[in-house]
Structure 1
Amino acid sequence: MTTITIKDQTASGNILNEIRIKVENERTTLKDIITARVLSEVNSYNENKPDIFKGLIQPSDTERTLNGFRVKKNKNIDAEQQVYVALDAFLKNGYFVIVDDEQITDYDQEILVSPETEISFLKLTPLVGG
């Protein structure tokens, strides 16, 4: 298992959010990284039920706030639906992913990761999911 840090950034380089996730292997794909990220965010939300969900994809039935998305009280977020929407959004250029200063355009591309690997997600449009 390798722990990596993912940063959400604006096009101008401002960091909006930073999370750490675990990936199974040093050799992985962007699809696996996106999936691990979304599952980590949703599982953390569903376990702790904070007032605001901070994640890559806006779940349906939520309200956008300055710091994330407000979810209806005691409502679980569907992790599988969120993964599907996140992968689809990547294919439709809803966000870009930069790994060690290189834009990854194919989510099946193999990536070698280590704790020092720099991964940035640049969101282009609001993403609404399940």
Structure 2
Amino acid sequence: MTTLIIKDETASGNILNEIRIKVENERTTLKDIITARVLTEVQVYNSSKPEYFKGLIQPSDTEKTLNGFRVKKRKSIDGEQQVYVALDAFMRNGFFVIVDDEQITDYDQEILVSSETKISFLKLTPLVGG
């Protein structure tokens, strides 16, 4: 079992969030990493149900704020649904994943990981304007 540190970064390199996940094998896929990340975030939230969910994907029935996603009714979040939305968002270029300075474009691509592997998620923010 390997523990990986995943960082959410802006395009300019600012770190917005950091999460630790565990993967079972040193050979894994990006799909497995995304799944482990999302399920870990959901588990952390569901164990205490704080006012804000800090995660990759905005759950339904939440409001986006500077502190994360404000959960209107502090109910459990469906991890399976969050994984589905996250994988769909990746396929639609809603975020990019960089592993050891290389962008991964196929979530089925096999990746060799160790505790030293650097993984960054870059989430695109839409421009606001008229």
Instruction: Identify the residue that residue 21 of structure 1 maps to in structure 2.
Output: 21
2:79 match: 79
* One-letter code aligned to 2:64: R
Q: Report the alpha carbon displacement of residue 48 of structure 1 after superposing the two structures with TM.
A: 1.2
Do the aligned partners of 1:95 and 1:125 also contact (CA within 8 Å) in 2? Answer: no
Shift of 1:72: 2.3
TM-score calculated relative to the size of structure 2: 0.94
Tell me which residue corresponds to 1:101.
Answer: 101
Aligned-partner residue type, residue 100 of structure 1: D
Q: CA RMSD in A?
A: 1.0
Which residue does the alignment assign to 1:9? 9
How far apart are the structure 2 equivalents of 1:80 and 1:72? 20
Shift of 1:67: 1.6
In structure 2, distance between residues paired with 1:93 and 1:31: 14
Tell me, in whole angstroms, the C-alpha distance in 1 between the residues paired with 2:22 and 2:125.
26
Distance in 2, Cα, partners of 1:71 & 1:95: 22
Measure how far apart 1:25 and its partner are.
0.6
- Report what 1:30 is aligned to: 30
| Counterparts of 1:73 and 1:91, CA distance in 2 | 30
Aligned partners of 1:63 and 1:77: how far apart in 2? 14
Cα displacement string for residues 42-88 of structure 1 (whole angstroms, at most 9, x for unaligned residues): 01100111111000000011011102001123311111100000000
Distance in 1 (CA, whole Å) between partners of 2:74 and 2:67 is 19
Q: Distance in 2 between matches of 1:21 and 1:95?
A: 18
**Residue correspondences, number:** 126
Where does structure 1 lack aligned partners over 5 or more consecutive residues? Answer: none
Alignment of 1:64 with 2:50, yes or no, is no
| Maintained 8 Å contact 1:5/1:18 | yes
Q: Distance in 1 between matches of 2:46 and 2:66?
A: 21
Using the size of structure 1 for normalisation, the TM-score is: 0.94
In 2: Cα distance, 1:4 partner to 1:24 partner: 11
Q: How many percent of aligned residue pairs carry the same amino acid?
A: 85
Name which one, 1 or 2, has greater alpha-carbon Rg.
Answer: 2
